Amino acid sequence: QSIPYPHHELPEPAISTDELRKLFVRRRSVRWYLDQPVPEDKVREAINMASLAPSACNRQPYHFHFINNAQQAAKVAGFAGGTVGFNQNLQSLIVVVGDLNAYPTERDRHCIYIDASLATMQLMLALETMGLSTCPINWPDIEFRERLMEQELELPPHQRPIMLLAIGFADPEGGVPYSAKKSDALLVKS
């Protein structure tokens, strides 16, 4: 469908607010995975779901480099730093890459980070519903790390790593770090 359509034609979700909250609580940053391959078809299905995320002018200025090889996943995760102690346990990894060519003016350079992050959050939730756990990994703006990633993924200069995403079947005995979250009392300013 390529023309505007009435809101009432959108599908009605069969998920309650409580069920959605349970999904949000269930999705945690998992660092310990079973030695079990990640099905590429599930990742592709989740990426198709993630592509429904909002995007400025619907440009979707990102793509997902899926690394489904434990050795390469560990190597690439190591580029980020902050993964020492768990990167050797990774089964699969996605490098979320933004494309600066999607926007002709410098003033829109932040759109790649916003749009890619919106899609990646939906990707994490979609994967969680499929029994696959994730861990978003910060990508620091450090020149030599940028070069390592550019070489590994053969990225042209207009493409920038946004973040990494570890994916796998969670080890049931693996620890999940406790993270206290702020409430509306701290987050809402009137």
Domain boundaries of the chain, sorted by first residue = 31-171
Mean of pLDDT over the chain: 95
Residue with tokens 């978003």: 136
Confirm if 87 and 77 have CB atoms less than 8 A apart.
yes
**What pLDDT score was predicted for residue 36?**
96
pTM for the whole structure: 0.93
Confirm if 167 and 38 have CB atoms less than 8 A apart.
yes
**What pLDDT score was predicted for residue 105?**
86
Please state, in angstroms and rounded to a whole number, the distance separating the CA atoms of residues 147 and 1.
Answer: 41
Q: Looking at the domain 31-171, which fold is it?
A: NADH Oxidase (3.40.109)
